[in-house]
Amino acid sequence: MGRYINPTDRTKEEWLREFATEIDAPYAWEATPPGQVQLCWVDNIEFTAVGVMYSSHELAYWMEELREDFRPRKWYIAPAAEVEKVTGGPI
């Protein structure tokens, strides 16, 4: 099971607007800017989710194994300290 952004005081989209920066495509794991975490917003029709790329394996899963998953997605980076506040623990 992955880790997800789950703010309690605002929507995921509001949180992304305040703390994250949209990027065109995910970075290679080793190219993730220091102190930042990559995130992937996904539209599940009935709800949205924001997955946290907490390891190279998680990033590879979201990039490769879900390649044929055609749900709308957007990629972001956000400060690790802010991500930790809404995921319940260290990244």
Strand order in the sheet with 73-79: 3-4, 48-53, 36-43, 73-79, 21-23
Cα–Cα distance for residue pair 34/23, rounded to 1 Å: 15
Structure tokens at 49: 């989710």
Domain boundaries, the chain: 3-85
pTM: 0.92
pLDDT given at position 88: 80
pLDDT given at position 55: 94
Q: What is the pLDDT of residues 22-67, one digit of tens each?
A: 999 999 999 999 999 999 999 988 999 999 999 999 999 888 766 7
- Cβ within 8 Å of residue 61, ≥6 positions away: 2
